[in-house]
Structure 1
């Protein structure tokens, strides 16, 4: 049985955010802040969500396994409502603001470990880096020693008994649970917080969240280029794009000389930051002597996917006097698409008699690949 509960406070109206929905249900990267906030909550805890009365069902849909209760007009009242739902056997309670939606899981772990080792309240903090002045209107009175100041974040953790006692004896509203516990005589210590746990309060904060995490959540885009050349060899059959081309002059090479498949492999490896085909399938490796292009592509796609990428599409162009692709272009694109697992488009051109391709000495192939990687 779990001994930890996490109360996520998601009942705020978000007036300062200027949104037409409660703050915890404003979306970043296509998901509500509440959904992002509970991503980092450890799996083996009781999760209690405090939501506005009009959003209780939405919160249950976002977190099907959580206990969802209606919040109050104040944050302190909302936490009290969540605290009443904490189950028997819970010894440690964390209180977390849904507005700090991108707090990483390690902050939760640090707080839980510190509560259990110290037996007191624990809050994550960051040092104050700006110079702080105490003012009266527009008049500066003094410079405050920032070395004794800290920015306070959530989740804040407490022994359950201490938190319940503090709420039972509360006479005033406090800005956070640590202040309430301290006012009732409880001890509070700190652990290191995280810059990613900033609070989303204003439209500027929301723009920052979208800029910093929107791209990460929706996927990082990577591009790569691959180039391969092979000389014609009349003594070899022609394999190009993974297909056999009868009655055509073949290409020389350690494998089957399939310059199109090789260029695609180089483009994929380049986009994923995995080197090139020579470093992965060297000519000194006997396993690939005479191997067809489809072998290289399948191995390359496995490497790319193993690195956490998915292939979006590949574009490849043959520069040569022959073979002519027109009659088999659809077949070629279909075959390569099945090998790569993503759309592959094929085109061809000549070099107007210039260079080795123009003189009919060989072929050149250029490939471009587009990959995406979803942020963790």
Structure 2
């Protein structure tokens, strides 16, 4: 996939600095743009990066480019007078590289992660032509007149705050930008708006609470404080435990994987004891109650429901509260069926449900040495641990 990083802005709202525009200012000992470029350069699906810079910033960019560790080509081109024009320059530069998709990102959004990029890529590779990472609007919205008098309260239902990288099938978004330029339309606020205007369907995927744009001087100071270790990292660990009774049946579902067996787990939903325990572990990291608070077993709508609904809901709550899921570990306690042959598929499912890489997902199993209800094959138990890092600024 191609990457266009837009870095031609002047950043007047961030104030003057000897380091130049805000994308070249230092946070955590390195320029903002270096953090951004290295995040893309270390992503396994990135194959070509083009950085669109201001003509006056050639020396600045040449200096920081040497700090970027990258195994993929990184080119610099001069941008235009507006962001829209700069993006078109970047897209034109990538033309001819046989790219299927392109991600367009603001240089001054350094706090994204590979999990977000993987969510975007998953949608693109599934055939979605345009993908917009976004977060539901959490603040109450007011409409006011010119003198600041409130006219009414705007419902925030179905409203989202757009982020980048906004990502597209390459040829359609290039054609849409060319068409807008030919029509002298220059008032689009982002690339998704151009796609909408061109009739390209845009799909929202869950963004990242940390993925904020560094706009004013205070944003840069807070980012520097965060990366310089002046604040303690907010690392939280949650634990979850669940058990379900076994009864005669044709198989059990564990970590989202159905395993044929001569018994099944009894429960209101699909009784996936592993996902239930992990759901509680995630909710525990932000004090959001437990699975029963969100999905009461007395509610008939959850009868037979797949437990991926529960785990994805918990992951969404964590992200909305500023958390980044770092690790998920599940221990299954059962005499049967054998978990080992299905472990990798279970880890893959956890990776999919949580939006994290598979190396951050662990599934283990042990027996109870024929002791107790587990030993008598009356039930299966699960213990889960989740590690989440929350924003400290």
TM-score by length of 1: 0.55
Residues in 2 aligned to 1:116 and 1:215: alpha-carbon distance in whole angstroms: 37
Do the aligned residues in 2 keep the contact of 1:28 with 1:210 (CA within 8 Å)?
Answer: yes
Offset of residue 59 of structure 1 = 4.9
The 1:62/1:48 distance shift into structure 2, 3 A limit, reads: farther
Residues in 2 aligned to 1:184 and 1:165: alpha-carbon distance in whole angstroms: 9
Aligned to 1:100: 109
Matched, 1:61 2:66: yes
Which of 100, 110, 116 does residue 91 from structure 1 map onto?
A: 100
Matched, 1:8 2:5: yes
**Poorly superposed stretches of 4+, deviation over 2 Å:** 54-65, 211-214
Offset of residue 13 of structure 1 = 0.7
Matched, 1:191 2:205: yes
Offset of residue 213 of structure 1 = 2.3
Deviations 1:306-326 (A, max 9, x none): xxxxxxxxxxxxxxxxxxxxx
Matched, 1:130 2:127: no
Which of 65, 70, 75 does residue 83 from structure 2 map onto?
A: 75
Residues in 2 aligned to 1:176 and 1:96: alpha-carbon distance in whole angstroms: 10
RMSD: 1.9
5+ unaligned residues in a row in structure 2: which ranges? 234-393
Offset of residue 154 of structure 1 = 0.5
Do the aligned residues in 1 keep the contact of 2:84 with 2:186 (CA within 8 Å)?
Answer: no
Offset of residue 216 of structure 1 = 7.9
Deviations 1:67-93 (A, max 9, x none): 111111110111111111114210101
Do the aligned residues in 2 keep the contact of 1:60 with 1:68 (CA within 8 Å)?
Answer: no
5+ unaligned residues in a row in structure 1: which ranges? 221-376
- After superposition, residues 331-346 of structure 1 pair within 5 angstroms as none
Offset of residue 211 of structure 1 = 2.4
Matched, 1:52 2:48: no
Residues in 1 aligned to 2:135 and 2:191: alpha-carbon distance in whole angstroms: 17
- After superposition, residues 170-319 of structure 1 pair within 5 angstroms as 170=180, 171-215=185-229
Give the greater-gyration-radius structure (CA): 1
Aligned to 1:273: none
Residues in 1 aligned to 2:65 and 2:89: alpha-carbon distance in whole angstroms: 16
TM-score by length of 2: 0.52
Deviations 1:42-87 (A, max 9, x none): 2442111111223232354344740111111110111111111114
Helix, strand or coil at the partner of 1:34 = helix
Alignment coverage as a number of residue pairs? 216
Do the aligned residues in 2 keep the contact of 1:59 with 1:68 (CA within 8 Å)?
Answer: no
